[in-house]
């Protein structure tokens, strides 16, 4: 058996997230189906670095594949892509050490939120349209409250004694991609095993609160 590291991009609108589910179309499920066709077997292991929720996209999802094949990585990549739908694409495949594990060896995760300040015909699936007036400077000030190691236990019903609710956020960058044209992008980078509810919702929602004219940055600190 050989082990490979895969880099994958996908537009997640049509999928119920990454992980295989019964009676639902998922990204991992589509990849597994493509691999089954290419390898002519279901005797392989496909594991992602993390799970994305329904409708969420990925610029570079990392996964590992363990399979018995003599195909060179580039040939394998091309054959897999030939079997995949147009909204999933394997960017690269390379051989990995036998002990490499996509999830356990992950050291950081990056999250990109694209916030549109106007209605957009072309970017609807890729942006969060906010009708309220936003101020980028207020959002930048609020972002500083999230830097470092924070405990998000108040945003989950999980027992912190059984599952850590602490997340270390290395950097939050607020950047207006096209000032004056209504598009604002917010990038969040986490340097730990990211707790998905905390990272996926809290920073984005709280930063928007801080960006509204009626609020002060300090109002993001707390419930």
CATH of the domain at 210: 3.30.70.660
Residues 51 and 125 placed together within one structural domain of the fold: no
Given 40, 43, 53, 132, the catalytic residue = 53
Say how many domains are in the chain: 2
Question: What pLDDT sits at residue 71?
Answer: 96
Residue 16 resides in a domain: yes
Residues 61 and 119 placed together within one structural domain of the fold: no
- C-beta atoms surrounding 75 within 10 Å: 13
| Domain stop point among 95, 123, 155 | 95
Residues 149 and 90 placed together within one structural domain of the fold: no
Residue 40 pLDDT grade (very low, low, confident, very high; cuts 50, 70, 90): very high
Residue 199 resides in a domain: yes
**CA dist., res. 51 & res. 56, Å (int):** 10
Concatenated DSSP letters of 30-96: HHHHHHHHHHT-S--EEEESS---TT--EEEEEEEEEE-----HHHHHHHHHHHS-TTEEEEEEEE-
Residue 102 resides in a domain: no
What is the token pair recorded at 7?
A: 């880099």
Share of the chain above pLDDT 90, in %: 43
Residue 101 resides in a domain: no
| Domain stop point among 42, 71, 95 | 95
What length does the chain have? 223
pTM: 0.80
| Domain stop point among 95, 128, 147 | 95
53 is catalytic: yes
- Residue 16 sits in a domain of what CATH number? 3.30.70.580
pLDDT surpassing 90 at residue 150: no
Question: What pLDDT sits at residue 13?
Answer: 95
Domain residues for the domain of 167 are 109-220
């Amino acid at each position: 058996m050989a082990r490979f590291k895969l880099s994958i991009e996908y537009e997640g609108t049509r999928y119920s997230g990454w992980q295989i589910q019964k009676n639902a179309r998922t990204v991992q499920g589509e990849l597994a189906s493509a691999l089954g066709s290419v390898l002519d077997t279901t005797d392989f292991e496909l594991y992602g670095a993390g799970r994305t929720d329904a409708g969420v996209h990925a610029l570079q999802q990392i996964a590992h594949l363990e399979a018995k094949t003599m195909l060179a990585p580039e040939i394998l990549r091309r054959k897999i892509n030939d079997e995949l739908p147009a909204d999933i694409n394997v960017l690269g495949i390379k051989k990995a050490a036998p002990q490499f594990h996509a999830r356990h060896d992950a050291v950081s995760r990056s999250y990109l939120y694209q916030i549109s300040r106007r209605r957009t015909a072309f970017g609807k699936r890729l942006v969060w349209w906010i009708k309220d007036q936003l101020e980028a400077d207020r959002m930048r000030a609020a972002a500083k409250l999230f830097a470092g190691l924070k405990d998000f236990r108040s945003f989950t019903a999980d027992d912190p004694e059984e599952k850590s609710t602490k997340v270390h956020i290395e950097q939050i960058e607020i950047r207006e991609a096209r000032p004056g044209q209504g598009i604002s992008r917010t990038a969040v980078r986490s340097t730990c095993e990211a707790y998905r509810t905390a990272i996926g919702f809290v920073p984005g929602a709280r930063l928007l609160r801080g960006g509204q004219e009626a609020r002060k940055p300090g109002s993001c600190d707390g419930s």
